[in-house]
Amino acid sequence: MSLRLGDIAPDFSAETTQGPINFHEWIGNSWVLFFSHPADFTPVCTTELGKTALLNGEFSKRGVKAIAISVDSLESHNKWVPDIEEVNQVEMNFPIIADPEKKVALLYDMIHPNASEKATVRSVFIIGPDKKIKLTLTYPASTGRNFTEILRVIDSLQLTANYQVATPADWVNGEDVIITPAVSNEEALTKFPKGFTAVKPYLRKTPQPNL
């Protein structure tokens, strides 16, 4: 099943390290970072889950819940968590889904047979409160994710969901943004009272509107 941006994230029920969940109920009115790791007791994954736990405050202030998954068992997850906490000097503060039958991994197309028939690739899904998929990323098993980039993308997604703007290359929170072409110059004067600069007729920059 190939999931695309704007699709409703498939619902499922599963066991996690923090108890059973129904995914859509668990999401509630939050944004969600849903990501997979190839296997428990692997070095890159140990750093990734620890980094996510360390960034819990950054995710929380953005209204984002984090949840991870692999095709290992709940027993395996529970044995691995102490290692994650020790290596990263952090307390695990988000759930890891157990998916030994690969039901969720297959539902979200996390297993790429040409890469591995048994393990999930490093998939990333950002899901909005409307349960729709806002972003997908796929990393090979050998490459750890850039969580600074994931936070940057969340900032952009949340900003552009509420204002008629887009974010330029390498944008970070606090920098100028681009007014979308659908907004006329006349409308822009009302919508963006801080003013705007027309670099080109189709490229108009304005200070970030929610600051």
Q: Which residues pair with 130 in a beta bridge?
A: none
* Residue 20 annotated in active site: no
Q: How far is CA 193 from CA 41, 52, 53, 174, 188, in A?
A: 53, 37, 39, 16, 8
3-state secondary structure of 74: helix
Integer Cα distance of 52 and 34 in angstroms: 11
Which residue of the set 9, 32, 45, 151 is catalytic? 45
Angle at 135 between CA 44 and CA 176, to 5 degrees: 105
What pairing do the DSSP bridges indicate for beta strands 64-70 and 31-36?
parallel
Three-state secondary structure of 81-140: HHHHHHHHCCCCCCCEEECCCCHHHHHCCCCCCCCCCCCCCEEEEEECCCCEEEEEEEEC
Q: Which residues are catalytic?
A: 45
